[in-house]
């Protein structure tokens, strides 16, 4: 089957077009122009603010009035590469080559941006479709969701008239989202000093980890390359002397890092010992992650002799201390929904800079108090070794509301189509629903979406038949909402 033959045709037409437009976080102008041109072609009323956020309005079918329904999705995708510590400039990134295997679309070796892309495709298809019954539609497109929800945080949401909103941020048709975690992104920075030394140079590499989104895959206990590198550096330090002069890992605050690299300097006579230690550590980690990570690899590479500007021993120990003590992973599960993570931390990025060692961390929680408590722990650890701590982004959780007209309406529609009641759940991911519900306190929200596996990774897959089922559910739901 070819991409052009997939149904619903309008949805997949737009999805393919969206994938062909570079739209990584911070670079959504081209996709915004594509959407704006559609609004102009069809004569829709629209607004586009200085940040690139956009609202498009389509009147109700058949000239009916009624309360508008807001359809919301973000424009940006989280870019991923095969080497998380090598970031290509946006202009050098090639468009993903989409392929079909069985019931799935994928892009070999990279993310295709189904997170965001398929939701945008649904909305554009609804805007362009004729003959569907629906209430007034407000299509809300926001930018830079993966940069701490920057677009929606800056947007003037008073332009939104509707108070019933369907978000497309969920990746499983079997569930309806009704709440999400809030997030605080923090930066821990520790001062360092360097000195010149001569010796044998080695690169240490941790790679092959699965990674994933820290809001969705944190409960899978996947390895964090940054923290594992900290363990490796400490392990080597127990048995031999070495100096550290390079350390980097991760691409995003909210992405579990798949790879990390360190460069060290050792004495010539310690080369065999180092290689033996790395082999033993690799064996131990493979055993630890036997049922979680099937491609984990840790190795060292001899780079010959040379002079390097290395960390002093005191500042090297500060770096290792922070990597060994900073909270990472699940901190607490939700006591009433046992499969839901309540509070977590993800050490998403690390880098050894000219004057400091920097960690960028994403802290999530369904409860504001626990989010702040975990943030304070990171602050204490950092400041206790002479570092500085900064909160860069903070946004609210989307809290579950007991009363929801939207949930009451969609339940029988879902039951009729899927022959079972919907499962209402919450997610540990941060969605723009949190900021929208905080700014517009009377907004009634649900989040839906087709099945997307391994979103935001190079193994991302979009289920074709699921796209069709969600389209059928969505159009039927809008038809029912027209009369309410």
Query: In angstroms, rounded to a whole number, what is the distance separating the alpha carbons of residues 356 and 351?
Result: 9
Radius of gyration of the chain (CA): 24
- The tens-digit pLDDT sequence of the chain (484 residues) is 789 899 999 999 999 999 999 999 899 999 999 999 999 999 999 999 999 999 999 999 987 777 999 999 999 997 654 433 333 444 444 568 899 999 999 998 788 999 999 999 999 999 999 999 999 999 999 999 877 789 999 999 999 999 999 999 999 999 999 999 999 999 999 999 999 999 999 999 999 999 988 988 999 999 999 999 999 999 999 999 999 999 999 988 889 999 999 999 999 999 999 999 999 999 999 999 999 999 999 999 999 899 999 999 999 999 999 999 999 999 999 887 778 999 999 999 999 999 999 999 999 999 889 999 999 999 999 999 999 999 998 988 998 888 999 999 999 999 999 999 999 999 898 899 999 999 999 999 999 999 999 887 788 999 999 999 999 999 999 999 997 8
The CATH superfamily assigned to 3-181+397-481 is: Zn peptidases (3.40.630.10)
The pTM for the full model equals: 0.77
CATH topology of 3-181+397-481 equal to that of 184-395? no
So what CATH class is 184-395? Answer: alpha beta
E-assigned strand segments in 194-296: 194-207, 243-249, 260-266
Phi, psi of 109, deg, nearest 5: 80, 10
The pLDDT value given to residue 39: 98
The pLDDT value given to residue 91: 42
Name which of 121, 117, 97, 109 is nearest 14 in CA terms: 121
Q: Locate the domains of the chain by residue range.
A: 3-181+397-481, 184-395
User: What is the CA 281 to chain-centroid distance, rounded?
Assistant: 30
The pLDDT value given to residue 148: 78
178 strand-pairing partners: none
Query: In angstroms, rounded to a whole number, what is the distance separating the alpha carbons of residues 72 and 291?
Result: 37
How many CB atoms sit inside 10 A of residue 388's CB? 14
Q: Under 8 Å CB-to-CB from 397, ≥6 apart: which residues?
A: 179, 180, 181, 182, 365, 366, 367, 368, 434
The pLDDT value given to residue 86: 36
The SS3 assignment for 11 reads helix
Query: In angstroms, rounded to a whole number, what is the distance separating the alpha carbons of residues 303 and 30?
Result: 43
How many CB atoms sit inside 10 A of residue 210's CB? 20
């Amino acid at each position: 089957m070819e991409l052009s033959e997939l149904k619903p045709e309008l949805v997949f037409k737009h999805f393919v077009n969206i994938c062909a437009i570079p739209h990584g976080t911070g670079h959504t102008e081209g996709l915004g122009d594509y959407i704006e041109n559609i609004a102009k072609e069809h004569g829709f009323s629209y607004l586009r603010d200085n940040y690139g956020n956009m609202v498009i309005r389509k009147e109700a079918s058949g000239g009916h009035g009624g309360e508008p329904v807001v359809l919301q999705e973000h424009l940006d995708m989280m870019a991923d590469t095969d080497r998380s510590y090598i970031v290509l400039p946006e202009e050098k990134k090639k468009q993903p080559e989409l392929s079909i295997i069985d019931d799935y679309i994928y892009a070999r070796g990279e993310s295709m941006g189904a997170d965001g892309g398929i939701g945008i495709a649904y909305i554009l298809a609804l805007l362009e479709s004729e003959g569907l019954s629906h209430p007034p539609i407000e299509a809300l497109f926001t930018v830079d969701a993966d940069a701490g929800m920057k677009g929606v945080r800056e947007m003037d949401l008073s332009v939104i008239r509707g108070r019933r909103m369907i978000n497309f941020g969920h990746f499983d048709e079997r569930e309806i989202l009704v709440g999400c975690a809030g997030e605080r992104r923090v930066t821990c920075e520790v001062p360092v000093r360097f000195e010149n030394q001569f010796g044998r140079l080695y690169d240490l590499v941790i790679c092959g980890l699965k990674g994933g989104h820290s809001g969705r895959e944190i409960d899978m206990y996947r390895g964090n390359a940054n923290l594992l590198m900290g363990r490796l550096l400490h392990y080597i330090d127990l048995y031999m002397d070495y100096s550290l002069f390079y350390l980097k890992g991760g691409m995003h605050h909210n992405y579990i890092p798949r790879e990390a690299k360190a460069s060290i300097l050792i004495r010539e006579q310690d080369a065999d010992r180092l290689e033996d230690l790395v082999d033993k550590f690799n064996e131990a980690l493979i055993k630890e992650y036997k049922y979680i990570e099937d491609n984990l690899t840790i190795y060292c590479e001899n780079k010959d002799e040379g002079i390097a500007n290395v960390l002093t021993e005191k500042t090297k120990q500060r770096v290792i201390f922070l990597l060994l003590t900073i909270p990472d992973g699940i901190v607490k599960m939700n006591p009433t929904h046992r499969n839901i993570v309540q509070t977590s931390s993800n050490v998403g990025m690390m880098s050894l800079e000219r004057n400091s060692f920097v960690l960028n961390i994403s802290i999530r929680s369904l409860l504001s108090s626990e989010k702040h408590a975990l943030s304070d722990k990171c602050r204490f650890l950092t400041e206790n070794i002479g570092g500085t701590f900064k909160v860069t982004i903070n946004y609210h959780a989307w809290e579950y509301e007991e009363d929801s007209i939207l949930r009451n309406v969609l339940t029988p529609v879902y039951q009729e189509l899927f022959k079972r009641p919907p499962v209402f759940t919450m997610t540990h991911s941060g969605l723009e629903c949190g900021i929208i519900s905080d700014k517009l306190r009377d907004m009634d929200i649900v989040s839906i979406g087709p099945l997307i596996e391994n979103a935001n990774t190079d193994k991302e897959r979009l289920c074709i038949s699921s796209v069709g089922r969600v389209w059928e559910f969505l159009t039927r739901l809008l038809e029912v909402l027209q009369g309410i």
